[in-house]
């Protein structure tokens, strides 16, 4: 067991997470043969197979499943040692892994990257866009440092830092621009287009309209706000989008945008990270930079 290397553990973790040798090699920035050799040597060292290799899919063996939990703990501890060393410096340096939900990433990230690059030039940014449940899991595993999400997350192990609030707006066909803005009761009767299951913005829209989340729906569930807006432009229905998405998503669609009267639906955007992260002081600087980027875009603080 003395011959197990940190490199092998990182390669193993990548294959276990992605269930694919080629994707794992790409994620680790090595060739697939090089990664495969390291995994084979790891299996020889421990004397057991860690993966079942199929034609199209790779699965963990029973031993691999037990091994994976220990490896995640080891790698998280190693990363936290590195963070502890970085925390002793006066400025933000090195790798920073940021996760962002899809209803924020395209609209806020460009400004965030610009502000961080200007104010903290020694940061090596790694960006990840996916839905909230996956970001939470990756934060817990230690594969992300911070995430920009809709609050609250309500995870005891996480620190939450509110950044700003933004309203939801109604997007409807241009022909309906002069119609009164419907309230929640009227929206429940309309053809409301929503993001697919897993997106927190879907749940927030359903909550505003007081629609049962488990009720069967025969309407379009889209994978992106862009799809929903284009379908509205085609006359299929109406949708809700966050205010930050309006400029990007409605510029090429034949739609009208309307704001709801008070109390308007809104969400609070914030940053979360593990309370155990020794870089808390530095991550608070990142939160301040994100807030500056939001202010520059005219988002409410």
Q: How far apart are CA 130 and CA 11, in angstroms?
A: 22
Q: How far apart are CA 216 and CA 140, in angstroms?
A: 33
Structural domain boundaries enclosing 209? 165-266
Report if residue 301 sits inside a domain: no
Q: Of the candidates 85, 115, 146, which is a domain's last residue?
A: 85
Same domain assignment for residues 121 and 207:
no
Q: How much is the pLDDT for 273?
A: 94
Total structural domains in the chain? 3
Q: What is the CATH number of the domain that holds 49?
A: 1.10.10.10
Report if residue 131 sits inside a domain: yes
Same domain assignment for residues 152 and 275:
yes
Q: How much is the pLDDT for 160?
A: 96
Q: How much is the pLDDT for 269?
A: 95
Q: Of the candidates 63, 85, 107, which is a domain's last residue?
A: 85
Report if residue 260 sits inside a domain: yes
Q: How much is the pLDDT for 146?
A: 94
Same domain assignment for residues 260 and 174:
yes
Report if residue 1 sits inside a domain: no
pTM: 0.74
Same domain assignment for residues 125 and 152:
yes
Q: Enter the DSSP assignment of 174.
A: G
Cα 257 to chain centroid, rounded: 26
* Local mean pLDDT, 10-residue blocks, the chain (301 residues): 82 88 86 92 91 83 89 78 61 83 94 90 89 90 89 92 93 93 86 86 84 60 89 92 93 92 91 87 89 86 52
20, 29, 39, 61, 86 from 53: Cα distances, Å: 9, 21, 12, 10, 39
Backbone angles phi, psi at 44, to 5 degrees: -65, -35
Give the list of residues 6+ apart from residue 84 with CB closer than 8 angstroms, or none: 278
DSSP 4-39: --HHHHHHHHHHHHHS-HHHHHHHTTS-HHHHHHHH
Same domain assignment for residues 144 and 173:
no
Same domain assignment for residues 206 and 243:
yes
Report if residue 143 sits inside a domain: yes
Same domain assignment for residues 150 and 238:
no
Q: How much is the pLDDT for 207?
A: 85
Q: How much is the pLDDT for 83?
A: 65
E strand map for 90-145: 94-100, 123-129
17, 228, 248, 290 from 132: Cα distances, Å: 17, 20, 22, 18
Report if residue 38 sits inside a domain: yes
């Amino acid at each position: 067991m003395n011959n197990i290397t940190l490199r092998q553990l990182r390669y193993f973790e990548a294959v276990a997470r992605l269930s694919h040798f080629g994707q794992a090699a790409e994620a680790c920035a090595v060739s697939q043969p090089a990664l495969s050799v390291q995994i084979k040597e790891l299996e020889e060292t421990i004397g057991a197979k860690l993966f079942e290799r199929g034609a199209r899919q790779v699965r963990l063996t029973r031993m691999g499943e037990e091994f994976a939990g220990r490896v995640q703990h080891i790698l998280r501890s190693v990363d936290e040692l590195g963070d502890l060393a970085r925390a002793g410096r006066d400025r933000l340096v090195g790798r920073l892994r940021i996760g962002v939900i899809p209803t924020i990433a395209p609209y806020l990230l460009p400004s965030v990257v610009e502000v961080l690059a200007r104010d903290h030039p020694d940061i090596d940014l790694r960006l990840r866009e996916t839905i909230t449940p996956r970001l939470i899991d990756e934060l817990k595993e230690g594969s992300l440092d911070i995430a920009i999400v809709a609050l609250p997350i309500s995870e005891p192990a996480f620190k939450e830092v509110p950044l700003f609030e933004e309203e939801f707006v109604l997007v409807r066909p241009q022909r309906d621009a002069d119609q009164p803005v419907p309230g929640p009761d009227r929206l429940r009767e309309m053809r409301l287009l929503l993001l697919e299951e897993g997106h927190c913005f879907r749940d927030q829209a359903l909550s505003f309209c007081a629609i049962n989340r488990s009720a069967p729906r025969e309407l379009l569930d889209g994978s992106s706000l862009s799809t929903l807006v284009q379908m509205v432009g085609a006359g299929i229905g109406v949708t809700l989008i966050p205010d930050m998405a309006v400029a990007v998503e409605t510029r090429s669609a034949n739609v009208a945008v309307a704001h709801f009267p008070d109390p308007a639906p809104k969400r609070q955007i914030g940053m979360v990270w593990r309370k155990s992260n020794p870089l808390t002081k530095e991550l608070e600087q990142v939160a301040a930079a994100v807030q500056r980027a939001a202010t520059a875009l005219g988002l409410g603080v």
